[in-house]
Amino acid sequence: MTVLQRVKSITHRICEQSKPTRDVYLDHLREAASRKPKRSALACANLAHGFAACSPSDKAALAGDVVPNLGIITSYNDMLSAHQPFETYPQLIKAAAKEAGGVAQVAGGVPAMCDGVTQGQPGMELSLFSRDVIAMATAIGLSHDMFDAAVYLGVCDKIVPGLTIGALTFGHLPAVFIPAGPMTTGLPNDEKAKTRQLYAEGKVGRDELLESESKSYHGPGTCTFYGTANSNQMLMEIMGLHMPGSSFINPGTPLRDALTREAAKRALAITALGNEYTPVGEMIDERTIVNGVVGLHATGGSTNHTMHLVAMAAAAGIKLTWQDISDLSDVVPLLARVYPNGLADVNHFHAAGGMGYIIRELLDAGLLHEDVKTVWGGTEGLRAYTIEPKLGENGTVVREPVAAESADKKVLSTCKQPFQVTGGLKMLKGNLGTAVIKTSAVKADRHIIEAPAIVFDSQAALQDAFKAGKLNRDFVAVVRFQGPRANGMPELHKLTPALGVLQDRGHMVALVTDGRMSGASGKVPAAIHVTPEALDGGIIGKIRDGDVVRLDAEIGTLDVLEDPEVLAARPTPEVDISHNSYGMGRELFAAFRNVVGKAENGASVFG
C-alpha cells in the first residue's frame, strides 16, 4: 500500500467510526444555520441590549438585518507575552469590518494562563482543565446570538484547543483564527537548557538562572521553542483556519497588522449573508483532522496534542483515537528540526520556509488531503497555503510561492531525505496500558530503556532524591498519581533538568508517568499520559521500587517485566492526594476531577 493509500485508508477508518456522532453533529449544525442574521430572531428588547453601547451608525446597521456582525472572542491579558499583542486587535478588526461594510463587537473574553509561569506550582493543576473552561467561556460569549461569524484571538497551550472546541460547538458560524506570532529570537534555547541543568546541579545560582530565562523570554509573543503554543499555530494553518502564511509573523510588525485586518474582512466574506458561506463545523471534517495529525508528526509537535486533537475532533462529532495517530506516525516523516528537536527556533523555521514549505512538501508526497475547505476559500484547497506572505503596497498582504528549496537544510528537509522516517510522536502499548512518547528529540540509542523502577508520588519527591544524590544509576522514574482525576494532570517539565543531568552522566534513564511532560519534552525518553492512570487502578500504581520496566520506542511497547499474577494480586497503594484539592483555586475544580475522561479520550469533561 502506498503512503497516499495508507493515509486515505486511515482517513476512511476515521470516517466510518465517526459516522454516528458526525451525522448528529451536522444535523444540529444545519438546524442552527440560517440565511438571515441570527439577531433577526431576537425580540426588540434583546436586540436593543445587544447594541446599546454601539455608535449610532453601528446601531443603525445592526438594526437593519442586512449587515454582517463579527464576534471577537479574545484571550487578551497583558501579563502574558503571547497574549499582550491582542490588546490592539479589536480596534484593528473593527476598522477593517467597517471598511468591509460590516460591524464587529468583542463578544467575550476567555482566560489564558501560562504553563511557563505555573510550572511546578499548584496553579499548574488548573492548566489542562482551563482548556474546557475556555470552551465554555467561548460559548457564553457567543450565546447572545448576535453574530454571523467569529474571529478567535488565541495562541498558547490550552487556549487554541479550547477556542477550537468552542468554535466547533457553534459550528454553524464561520470561524477565523488570528494569531499574535512569536517573540523575536533571544538567548538560544539550548543555552537556556544548559543553565537550567547547571542550576539543578547547584553550579550556578538563582541570579544567573533568572538572567538566562529573562534573555530567552524577553518580549511580546509566544516562546520561540516548538512547544504546544507554536504547535497550535502550525495546526491552525495546516487545518485551514488561519490566513495563509500568518502563523509565525512577529508581533508589532506592519505585516502582522495587515494579516489581522485581512482575517477580519475574510471572516465577514464567508458568512451566510454572502455567496461563500463556510460554517466551521462543515469546513473541519475528518480529512482536516488527519491533516492536523500529519502536520504534528512532520514537525515533531507537542505531545499535548495527542489529547487536544482528540478533544477538538470530538467537538465536531469526529472520533479520533490514539491508534489513528500512531498509524499516521508510521508513514509520516519528520521534516523539521526546531528546539527541542534541534537548535533552531520558530523564527529560524519560518525563515527557512516555514509552513508554506512544510505544506508543499507533504502535499507533493501525497501525505495531506489537498481537496479540503479552508477559510481562504477558492478552488485550490490546501495548495493555496504553499506560499510566503509579504507586505505589499498600501499595507496589504501579497503572497508569493514558497521557495523551491529549504533556506536552511538543518532546519527543514524533504520527504525524500527526512530527519527521521517516521513521525515525531509514538504510541506505546503494553501491560502498563497506553502511553505517548516524543521520539524526535531523543537520540536513537535511548529509544529502548530497560532498568529498575524508582517510584515517586510527586515530581517534588524525585527532585529531592536527585538533590540528595540518590539517583546516580540506571533507572526508570515512575511518577504516578499525576493523571487528570488525581490532580488535573499537570506538566512535569521541572523534571527535565534533573533527568537530563543524570543522562549526561552516562546513566540510562527514562520517565514513565500518568502526567504530562509538555510540548517541550526533550532529550530524555518519557512515556507520558499513561492510561489508565494510577487513581483509576492502572498498573502504574502497582509498580514497586526495583521492578524492571522496559520502554521500547522502536516497536512501541511499555511493560513492567513482572509476573502478571503477582501484579494483579498487588493492592493499589493508598496515597493521600487531599492536598491537591485546595489552594490556588483547586477547590473550584473538584467537579472537573470527578468527571474528567481518560487521557486517550482527550481528558475532557464533556463526555
pLDDT at 187: 86
Q: What is the torsional sign of CA 403, 407, 411, 416? A: positive
pLDDT digits (tens, 9 = 90+) for 278-317: 999 999 999 999 999 999 999 999 999 999 999 999 999 9
Return the DSSP state at 436: E
pLDDT at 493: 85
pLDDT-derived band at 439, boundaries 50, 70, 90? confident
How many Å apart are CA 298 and CA 312, to the nearest integer?
20
Q: How many alpha carbons fall within 13 Å on the CB side of residue 170?
A: 30
Q: Are 128 and 489 in contact (CB under 8 A)?
A: yes
How many Å apart are CA 348 and CA 345, to the nearest integer?
5
Average pLDDT of span 205-230: 91
pLDDT at 519: 56
Q: Percent of the chain having pLDDT more than 90? A: 86
Q: Are 338 and 247 in contact (CB under 8 A)?
A: no
| Domain chopping of the chain, boundaries | 5-184+219-401, 425-601
Average pLDDT of span 98-126: 94
Give the residue among 124, 122, 92 at the shortest CA–CA distance from 106. Answer: 92
Of residues 105 and 564, more confidence is placed in: 105
Q: Which residues are annotated as a binding site?
A: 156, 223
First-to-last C-alpha distance (Å) of the chain: 36
Return the DSSP state at 101: T
Give the residue among 172, 166, 129 at the shortest CA–CA distance from 148. Answer: 172
pLDDT digits (tens, 9 = 90+) for 452-471: 999 999 999 999 999 999 99
Q: What percent of the residues of the chain are helix, what percent strand, and what percent coil, each to the nearest 5?
A: 45, 15, 40
pLDDT-derived band at 197, boundaries 50, 70, 90? confident
Q: Are 507 and 472 in contact (CB under 8 A)?
A: yes
pLDDT digits (tens, 9 = 90+) for 3-58: 889 999 999 999 999 999 999 999 999 999 987 787 888 899 999 999 999 999 99
Residue type, 594: N
| 397-401 and 387-391 strand pairing | antiparallel
Pick the CATH number of 425-601 from 2.40.10.120, 3.40.718.10, 3.50.30.80, 3.40.80.10: 3.50.30.80
Average pLDDT of span 210-231: 91
Give the residue among 257, 304, 58 at the shortest CA–CA distance from 159. Answer: 304
Average pLDDT of span 477-490: 96
Kindly state the helix (H) or strand (E) to which residue 311 belongs, with its residue range: helix 305-315
pLDDT at 520: 59
pLDDT digits (tens, 9 = 90+) for 369-421: 999 999 999 999 999 999 999 999 889 999 999 999 999 999 999 999 999 99
Give the 3-state secondary structure of residue 69: strand
Q: What is the torsional sign of CA 183, 185, 188, 192? A: negative
| 103-109 and 69-74 strand pairing | parallel
Q: Which residues are annotated as a binding site for [4Fe-4S] cluster?
A: 156, 223
pLDDT digits (tens, 9 = 90+) for 45-99: 999 999 999 999 999 999 987 899 999 999 999 999 999 999 999 999 999 999 9
pLDDT-derived band at 597, boundaries 50, 70, 90? very high
Give the residue among 351, 373, 256, 237 at the shortest CA–CA distance from 294. Answer: 237
Phi-psi region of 469 (alpha: psi -120 to 50; beta: other; left: phi over 0): left
Task: Say if residue 396 is exposed, middle or buried (CB neighbours under 10 Å; 0-12, 13-18, 19+).
Answer: exposed
How many Å apart are CA 375 and CA 95, to the nearest integer?
20
Does residue 585 have a pLDDT over 90?
yes
Average pLDDT of span 548-575: 93
Return the DSSP state at 176: E
Across the chain, mean pLDDT equals 94
Does residue 498 have a pLDDT over 80?
yes
Residue type, 318: I
pLDDT at 450: 98
| 338-348 as b/e: b if 16+ CB within 10 A | bbbbbebbbbb
